[in-house]
Amino acid sequence: MTAPASTPAGAPARTDAAEPAARGPVLVEGRGPLSRAVVAALRGGPPPSAGTAAAGSTAVRGAVDRTDPWGEDLHLSLYLLYELHYRGFAGVDDALEWDPALLGLRGALEERFLNALRTATADAPGTVTEAFGPLLVEPVDLGGSLSHHLETEGELWQLREYAALRSLYHLKEADPHAWVIPRLHGRAKAAMVAIEYDEFGAGHPDRVHARLFAGLMADLGLDTTYGHYLDRAPAPLLATVNLMSLLGLHRALRGALVGHFACVEVTSSPGSRRLARAMRRCGAGPAAEHFYAEHVEADAVHEQVVRHEVIGGLLADEPELEPDVAFGCAATLLLEDRLAAHIRTAWDQGRSALRPSAVPGPGTG
């Protein structure tokens, strides 16, 4: 298969981007009335709120109630508002992180997204044993697995697209999960901090997982600037990152964040093994292979710690949170399946899984 014209390519790789940038990423254009109103507010315009008009005569609250909970407009809006709690955006006032009107809009968007997640996972298992039991056994049929496709028949351009999409999380890997630390105590907190210590390089900046991913991107010839591919990321990808921020920023959802984190760690090692093989088979480069090889070993250990110590410790203290832990797992699997379906549909049709860039400029890398 020939790489689609919109495949990321051409821009020189930047190998310093895993270090904190002096300024935030470039603010992108909106994809609908809500995200356009957010972008306008971040650029210094009037802040949207549930009680003010925006995007012509449409009230923001009405727009939230009508918007697709899985769509581009809602998920870009949420991502932009959440990013204010990470590195912000170049030229955007840091004080807007706590702007009451923006927080009110974010709350309405979160409610819409969370209700959709709960509806879609209503029939999912409600206990930890039922939720995680199937994940502990490698499925016999891997035909629907994106990592299996990349391992066995994926092409280099597909690996590059996959990395460009995943960069929206991996260049801040483990940051959303750190918000749960002050909401845990005792055994659960100690275990969570131990895992996060590994994720952040165990005291060695060159081993921080976000920096390792920047090395992977450099090997693939991608731009490693934090947030560079936001404009190219479709809603199914943004939803996976928004879920982490949503769960991390709300103490009431701490159990669901632990469930999300555990689900990622339990499923990471087998998938990382397949992706390491894919990188090797396609000649992606040593840093590209190393990122996933590192996760094969690290996450196999983390999986045991998070299940027995983080979840075990949390539920020993707060057993009433078990349905929330199960929900976090179910929501994670749902969104990962939606993302995989989006990517495979695009590739099977011979087109890019990335959005066409809305920002004019040379190249797409």
Q: Residue 224 belongs to a domain with what CATH number?
A: 1.20.910.10
How many domains are there within the chain? 2
Instruction: Give me the chain's average pLDDT, please.
Output: 88
Is residue 96 one of the residues assigned to a domain? yes
Same domain, 133 and 110: no
Confidence of residue 42 (pLDDT cuts 50, 70, 90): very high
pLDDT digits (tens, 9 = 90+) for 251-288: 999 999 999 999 999 988 889 999 999 999 999 999 99
DSSP letters, 228-269, are: TTGGG--HHHHHHHHHHHHHHT-GGGHHHHHHHHHHHHHHHH
Give the three-class secondary structure for 62. Answer: helix
Same domain, 231 and 299: yes
Task: Say what percent of the chain tops pLDDT 70.
Answer: 87
Same domain, 316 and 192: yes
| Tokens describing residue 195 | 């895992």
Of 68-72, 149-153, 320-324, minimum mean pLDDT range: 149-153
pLDDT digits (tens, 9 = 90+) for 280-323: 999 999 999 999 998 887 767 788 899 999 999 999 999 999 99
CB within 8 Å of 131: residues ≥ 6 apart: 124, 125, 259, 325, 326, 329, 330
Write down the pLDDT at residue 59: 59
Is residue 14 one of the residues assigned to a domain? no
Mean local confidence (pLDDT), 47-71? 68
Is residue 4 one of the residues assigned to a domain? no
Type of residue at 210: A
Confidence of residue 159 (pLDDT cuts 50, 70, 90): very high
Of 9-23, 132-146, 208-222, minimum mean pLDDT range: 9-23
Q: Does residue 358 surpass a pLDDT of 80?
A: no
Distance, in Å, from the CA atom of 355 to the CA atom of 230, rounded to the nearest integer, reads 10
Do residues 314 and 239 lie in contact, with contact meaning Cβ atoms separated by under 8 Å? no
Distance, in Å, from the CA atom of 350 to the CA atom of 2, rounded to the nearest integer, reads 8
Distance, in Å, from the CA atom of 302 to the CA atom of 342, rounded to the nearest integer, reads 29
Write down the pLDDT at residue 51: 43
Write down the pLDDT at residue 61: 73
Q: How many CA atoms lie within 13 A of 23 on its CB side?
A: 8
Confidence of residue 8 (pLDDT cuts 50, 70, 90): low
Is residue 137 one of the residues assigned to a domain? yes
Q: Does residue 3 surpass a pLDDT of 80?
A: no
Distance, in Å, from the CA atom of 198 to the CA atom of 190, rounded to the nearest integer, reads 13
Write down the pLDDT at residue 6: 56
Of 17-21, 38-42, 305-309, minimum mean pLDDT range: 17-21
Hey, which residues does 59 pair with through a beta bridge? 53
Q: Which long-range contacts (CB under 8 A, 24 or more apart) does 273-281 make?
A: 274/145, 274/147, 274/148, 274/150, 274/151, 275/147, 275/150, 275/151, 277/151, 278/147, 278/150, 278/151, 278/154, 278/159, 279/159, 279/216, 281/151
Give the three-class secondary structure for 53. Answer: strand
Last residue of a domain, one of 60, 95, 120: 120
